[in-house]
Structure 1
Amino acid sequence: MMSGGLNHRRVEVMQETASYTPKPAKQWSLRRTAEYVMREQRIFFVLLGVVITSVFFLVLQPAYRHDESSGAYLGGEELYNVEAKFGSVRAFEKAPYRMQQSAVISPGGKIPLGLQRKALRIVVTGGAGFVGSHLVDRLIERGDSVIVVDNFFTGRKENVQHHFGNPRFEMIRHDVVEPLMLEVDQIYHLACPASPVHYKFNPVKTIKTNVVGTLNMLGLAKRIGARFLLTSTSEVYGDPLEHPQKETYWGNVNPIGVRSCYDEGKRTAETLAMDYHRGAGVQVRIARIFNTYGPRMCIDDGRVVSNFVAQALRKEPMTVYGDGKQTRSFQYVADLVEGLMRLMDGEHVGPFNLGNPGEFTMLELAEVVKEVIDPSATIEYKENTSDDPHKRKPDISKAKELLGWEPKVPLKEGLPKMVEDFRKRIFGDHEEEKETLNE
């Protein structure tokens, strides 16, 4: 029974006769819209936004210029630096990598200009050797972190000791024939004895370095997704029947000769690199290096330039094998390093010939060495070695076109730098003793 005192809420029900009348739509009027914008001051904010945007793009941001040849955009400050130093953007594109870096411009326009390039972590096998140590210098100078892997068969700690204490430099004593675990972005694989004296010393070890060592480093590149550059050699052409040699030439190599441990070893290394590229998707780059000279070369390695320079400095006869009419092409080490870096950072697999197309006979080279060191130096002829190529000259058209690279340093300019280094290393101790006695 419900209490009579409870109050019940009364629900009012709308009468069915009530009807809903919507608000009548207003017709659009230009005059009414203009009056609204002026009354609410909207036009002021629109104009203010236009002014701020114009100031930002025209005043605060540098003017940009597009270089049609490379697709690169040069910022105002960078453009000023480029034109002040090189005269034009096109001249800048032809300049060496180091000069481009000094203008705060990224090579090839791949990095947005004005933005700092990301530092890479790079391993260089054979990095304490002649070419490897110069490559390490350039990578460190560029701002990368470098790990040198070397077993010091031909490499020397002295070549890289100026980097000791640098937090971006590491060195590991290791033979690439054994597996290696690292985390890097790029792998420059230079490890292998490159002179006849050294690679003939233990030919089986040379083959293992070229085959097993290359397999290990390619396997590392595959596991960690690193880009891999193989330094092959002009020796893959053997005693060439084509002159000058193009990358399409397959070579004329004696597979059972005394030099085949190196020649065929490098040919096999190229095969492995291409198979990893095609079959496993590894980003590989292949460089075929022609005769290179410069500071830090091994003094008694059997190569003709180092032989001539060391013999002339020691007042010994320069040894010419055969009739001295066989030809070679000599590039300065800085030019080679420039080519290797352009190849690694580019988008082309190769192989690429990296060498100087200037061709010299052995007798012509001996005359240049005499001119630089000692005009009274003499020449001694000996029987030629087995399988010695009669001609060697690179065709570098492919490197010019796709890498924008060609050697800059002529022999008469680069040779004195090598002579100065050899003189210090051969006579350095004796000169210090003389200075001490004079004091």
Structure 2
Amino acid sequence: MKVFITGGAGNIGSTIADLLLARGDQVLVLDDFSTGKKHHIQDHENLTFVEGSIVDAELLNKLMTDFQPEAVVHCAASYKDPDDWVTDTMVNSVGGVNVIQACQKHNVKRTIYFQTALCYGIHPTEHPITLNHPINPDNSSYAITKTSVEEVLRLSGIDYVTFRLANVIGPRTVSGPLPIFYQRLKEGKQCFATKARRDFIYTPDLAKLVVRAVDGEGNGIYHFSSGSDWAIKDFYDLVAGAMKLDPIPAPEIKELGADDAASILLDPSRTFADFGEIEFTPMEQAIHDIVAYYDKHGVHGGYTHLKINKED
């Protein structure tokens, strides 16, 4: 199968590319390295890599014409600066629509999209959040722009699967609390944790399900969630423990900020119904593997689409 992955040098995209290449598929990756990393892309006889942006509609159409993908996995997204509304709009909204229109024009059989759980807002009225919960992406330009493209995808008439995601973590993660905790602990700096709870899911677990969706399983919108959440403090303890810190430095516990949700937990029942029970990697094992990767290769990023007070 021929699969085109936008943002294929990022955490999710590169992990999916590895699985597809391992089973013999031909893969085309497009990335501009805004957050993706070159070392995530390994040379392979079935891999074609192009440096560029989904904002460039002409480039997208040329790549589609030359490669003729059977499936497109759209991972490319802007999220690293919560105040950069223009870039979020250009990449997520304009670029996302460029991808959808290119899929229409070139008769792509299946398109996979990723949406943020923050499409439900920071004060969801359900716990866990069901697919019937009202859409209310009121918290960031990232959530607003990602949601706008999901709506365009729904109206496009093309065959698609959207995964609305819990917090995705993996060795190649450059956003969220994990790389921030690791880097600060490595530097001997104090960390802080809010009183929030989150569902953390391991990138390889998600990638395995995406490959099944590429092959034709599922249709429409799904939650990718383990169905349980963790206190951020407990997640911090796992990171510090995997780093073998003894004693574990106590983090400062902060109240929730104005743009932070107390809990974001997605109901995965439709996903389990259509794809069957999913074997999730135990969080302790996932954190152990990620920290081992950081110890060997270093940590990159530490981005967040939410506004935070930066500290030394």
The offset of 1:172, in angstroms, is: 0.7
Q: Is it true that 1:178 corresponds to 2:59 in the alignment?
A: no
Alpha carbons of structure 1 residues 275 and 247: separation in structure 2 relative to 1, 3 Å: same
Query: Which secondary structure does the structure 2 equivalent of 1:188 belong to?
Result: strand
**Which residue of 2 is the match for residue 315 of structure 1?**
188
Which of 199, 206, 228 is residue 88 of structure 2 equivalent to? 206
**Which residue of 2 is the match for residue 95 of structure 1?**
none
**Which residue of 2 is the match for residue 34 of structure 1?**
none
Which of 228, 232, 238 is residue 115 of structure 2 equivalent to? 232
Alpha carbons of structure 1 residues 409 and 128: separation in structure 2 relative to 1, 3 Å: same
The CA distance in 1 between the partners of 2:99 and 2:188, in whole Å, is 43
RMSD: 1.8
**Which residue of 1 is the match for residue 231 of structure 2?**
361
The CA distance in 1 between the partners of 2:216 and 2:3, in whole Å, is 16
Q: Deviations over 1:40-85 (max 9, x none)?
A: xxxxxxxxxxxxxxxxxxxxxxxxxxxxxxxxxxxxxxxxxxxxxx
Which of 28, 32, 46 is residue 151 of structure 1 equivalent to? 32
Which of 10, 15, 19 is residue 134 of structure 1 equivalent to? 15
The CA distance in 2 between the partners of 1:353 and 1:342, in whole Å, is 15
Letter in 2 for 1:305: L
Structure with the largest fraction of strand:
2
Which of 119, 134, 146 is residue 266 of structure 1 equivalent to? 146
Q: Following superposition of structure 1 onto structure 2, how do residues 79-90 of structure 1 map, counting pairs within 5 Å?
A: none
Q: Deviations over 1:319-346 (max 9, x none)?
A: 22xxx32110111111111121222323
Letter in 1 for 2:46: R
The CA distance in 2 between the partners of 1:347 and 1:368, in whole Å, is 34
The offset of 1:389, in angstroms, is: 1.4
Letter in 1 for 2:235: L
The CA distance in 2 between the partners of 1:189 and 1:284, in whole Å, is 11
Letter in 2 for 1:177: V
Query: Which secondary structure does the structure 1 equivalent of 2:27 belong to?
Result: strand
Q: Is it true that 1:276 corresponds to 2:161 in the alignment?
A: no
The CA distance in 1 between the partners of 2:36 and 2:153, in whole Å, is 24
* Bigger CA radius of gyration: 1
The CA distance in 1 between the partners of 2:246 and 2:149, in whole Å, is 43
Decide whether the 8 Å contact of 1:336 with 1:407 is kept in 2: no
Decide whether the 8 Å contact of 1:232 with 1:289 is kept in 2: yes
The offset of 1:137, in angstroms, is: 0.2
The offset of 1:228, in angstroms, is: 1.0
Aligned length: 288
Structure with the largest fraction of helix:
1
Q: Per chain length, whose mean CA-contact separation is higher, i.e. which structure has more relative contact order (CA < 8 Å, sep 6+)?
A: 2
Letter in 2 for 1:188: V
Decide whether the 8 Å contact of 1:339 with 1:405 is kept in 2: no
TM-score (structure 2 length as normaliser):
0.87
**Which residue of 1 is the match for residue 46 of structure 2?**
168
Query: Which secondary structure does the structure 1 equivalent of 2:50 belong to?
Result: strand
**Which residue of 2 is the match for residue 306 of structure 1?**
179
Calculate percent identity across the aligned residue pairs. 24
**Which residue of 1 is the match for residue 310 of structure 2?**
none
Which of 351, 375, 391 is residue 263 of structure 2 equivalent to? 391
Q: Deviations over 1:353-405 (max 9, x none)?
A: 01222211111212222322214223134565442111111211111110125
Decide whether the 8 Å contact of 2:54 with 2:98 is kept in 1: yes
Alpha carbons of structure 1 residues 400 and 423: separation in structure 2 relative to 1, 3 Å: same
Decide whether the 8 Å contact of 2:54 with 2:95 is kept in 1: yes
**Which residue of 1 is the match for residue 126 of structure 2?**
242
The CA distance in 2 between the partners of 1:383 and 1:400, in whole Å, is 34
The offset of 1:350, in angstroms, is: 2.2
Query: Which secondary structure does the structure 1 equivalent of 2:195 belong to?
Result: coil
Decide whether the 8 Å contact of 1:339 with 1:354 is kept in 2: no
TM-score (structure 1 length as normaliser):
0.63
Q: Unaligned stretches of 5+ in structure 1?
A: 1-119, 428-439
Q: Is it true that 1:338 corresponds to 2:208 in the alignment?
A: yes
Which of 162, 165, 169 is residue 289 of structure 1 equivalent to? 165
The CA distance in 2 between the partners of 1:365 and 1:338, in whole Å, is 24
The offset of 1:291, in angstroms, is: 0.5
**Which residue of 2 is the match for residue 401 of structure 1?**
273
Query: Which secondary structure does the structure 2 equivalent of 1:243 belong to?
Result: coil
The CA distance in 2 between the partners of 1:136 and 1:149, in whole Å, is 11
Q: Deviations over 1:213-244 (max 9, x none)?
A: 11111111111111111111111111211110
